[in-house]
Amino acid sequence: MTATQPVDGVERASTGPVVARALRLLEAFSDAHPTLSLSDISRRSGVPLSTAHRLVAELEAWGALERDARGRYQVGLRLWEVGALAPRGPGLRERALPYLEDLCAVTRENVQLAVREDDEIVYVERLAGSRAVGVLTRVGGRWAMTATGVGLVLLAHAPTDVVERVLDGPFTRHTPWTLTDPTRVRQALAATRVRGYAVSERQITDDATSVAAPVHDATGEVVAALSVVAHHGRPPVSVLAPLVRTSAAGVSHALAAGRPRRRHTNPQGGRS
Amino acid sequence: MTATQPVDGVERASTGPVVARALRLLEAFSDAHPTLSLSDISRRSGVPLSTAHRLVAELEAWGALERDARGRYQVGLRLWEVGALAPRGPGLRERALPYLEDLCAVTRENVQLAVREDDEIVYVERLAGSRAVGVLTRVGGRWAMTATGVGLVLLAHAPTDVVERVLDGPFTRHTPWTLTDPTRVRQALAATRVRGYAVSERQITDDATSVAAPVHDATGEVVAALSVVAHHGRPPVSVLAPLVRTSAAGVSHALAAGRPRRRHTNPQGGRS
């Protein structure tokens, strides 16, 4: 993160603080706070009101923010359009979706796809099977790495500095089974690397267990993780693991096969 | 759009040009160009290389851009996360999806949901039915308003200045049936308002016709349009129109019922 020094009413001549502050305003919005007043934005972002006023006007002019019928600000459709071009988000999802759907149809359980962003995981897709156990995840939502199957897979293949930061904690305990001891997390990561899949038993909710496997890109790097979240013990891990590994391998093959052929052209020009 | 005056090497003290230029860099990326070098970004955005260099570094530091294994830039996962909060994009989609899925299951045709952005439409969701005709649309893609069913619905309920700009043309002809005469477009808009649904016959491809109906918010304003795109004449419009209108009314009721209850909390904090 770039350091910012908000100084009300004083615009710095360098681009750094201004752009960083404009982007920081966007962080004021969240799933729990999708619409905000200008003073909400200022307060939540820590950017002084007069500066926020000017930057919000800029963001609105471009379409990164828009106003609802009551005049409150919300994230604009334009930002969603640009975000839809993120290869690690919708790009990955598009190529993985057929494999996720097959896995969901066969198991009738929850199927999830996630990537690592800094020291957390972000869910890129989630399909709910017809006999699926309740889960707390959301597409675009973040979660800690050690408590989930996909997180253990991604952490098992993360750079050492990421592993050490995560193992430094803190760990949030969700159930009596949540891993909060760094030594036990290290054992889980080692087991994940040896077996080729991760098992996260009852760590988030008492009744759910996830089994996750790595997705590789063409260079062999682990770029995502795919999981099934099922009722604990039904079906057993020995049944789920080969299915999850096969699906993850399918996605890896699809990624290695290169960019998908685009199914459309946009004759109006627009964003293409 | 805010006016920008790119002057290489000279940073303006006001926030306007800097933020606008940073956002303009994002516009260099498209479905056809998802990864770009720094010089590509500079050339496609019209922002001089030295300025682009500094602004790209800012955008990368925040996560709006990221680099792939070859060092080329792409839209970052962070931007997708923020974009996922856009009420008119994923927010609308989430509430509409059960109705879209029902309509798709009943008709086994393509079902589409779109909103208006400036003088164009943007597709927010598209489901492909099992007997669906080929379509050229993409989620997040833009299209002209007069050639599609959803576009006619949204234009029929747009402010006068939008209607006049669109009717000024130009019109892109895709098939012999594409509306390119402003008088005929006006007639189609009037018919859409009177009937409560729009019909776009064979305008984009020879073999497809779409039937679309408006989605209203709690205040009665038209905020989206929902369509079925089927083989021309099979099933007839008289069969499709009541189904589409009923589904659109269902989405309207869901919107009027207020924000959906959130199904999760994010105990790790993250973006919530």
Q: How confident is the model over A153-195, as pLDDT tens digits?
A: 999 999 999 999 999 988 888 888 888 899 999 999 999 999 9
The predicted-structure confidence for B26-69, as pLDDT tens digits, reads as follows 999 998 899 999 999 999 999 999 999 999 999 999 999 999 88
Average pLDDT of the residues in A199-223: 90
Residue B267: predicted pLDDT: 32
Domain ranges of chain B: 15-83, 87-256
Residues of A with Cβ-Cβ distance to B25 under 8 angstroms = none
Nearest-Cα residue of chain B relative to residue A117? B77
Q: How far is Cα A122 from Cα A118, in angstroms, rounded to an integer?
A: 10
Residues of B with Cβ-Cβ distance to A81 under 8 angstroms = 83, 89, 117, 122, 140, 142
Residue A34 phi/psi, 5-degree rounding, is -75, -20
Residue B264: predicted pLDDT: 36
Interface of B with A in 151-190 (CB under 8 A): 172, 174
Q: How far is Cα A61 from Cα A56, in angstroms, rounded to an integer?
A: 8
Task: Choose from B36, B55, B68, B81 for mutation: most chain A CBs within 10 A.
Answer: B81
Task: Of B94, B131, B128, B92, give the one whose Cα is nearest residue B111.
Answer: B128
Report whether A224 contacts A115 (CB < 8 A). yes
Residue B247 structure tokens? 């589904």
What's the CA angle centered on A266, arms A261 and A267, to 5 degrees?
A: 130
Q: How far is Cα B198 from Cα B213, in angstroms, rounded to an integer?
A: 6
CA distance A75 to chain B (A): 5
Residues of B with Cβ-Cβ distance to A144 under 8 angstroms = 268
Nearest-Cα residue of chain A relative to residue B21? A19
Pick from A109-123, A214-228, B200-214: least confident: B200-214
Residue A172 structure tokens? 């949030």
SS3 content of chain B, % helix, strand, coil (to 5): 40, 20, 40
> Are the beta carbons of B85 and A31 separated by less than 8 Å?
yes
Q: What is the pTM of this model?
A: 0.77
Cα of first residue to Cα of last residue in chain B, in angstroms, is 30
A65-67 and A73-75: which strand pairing? antiparallel
Dihedral-angle region of residue A71 (phi above 0 means left; psi in -120 to 50 means alpha; beta otherwise): left
CATH number of A15-83: 1.10.10.10
Average pLDDT of the residues in B143-162: 93
Report whether B200 contacts B209 (CB < 8 A). yes
- Tally of CB atoms within 10 A around B164: 11
Report whether A6 contacts A47 (CB < 8 A). yes
Report the CATH architecture of A87-256: 2-Layer Sandwich (3.30)
Looking at this predicted complex, what is its ipTM? 0.79
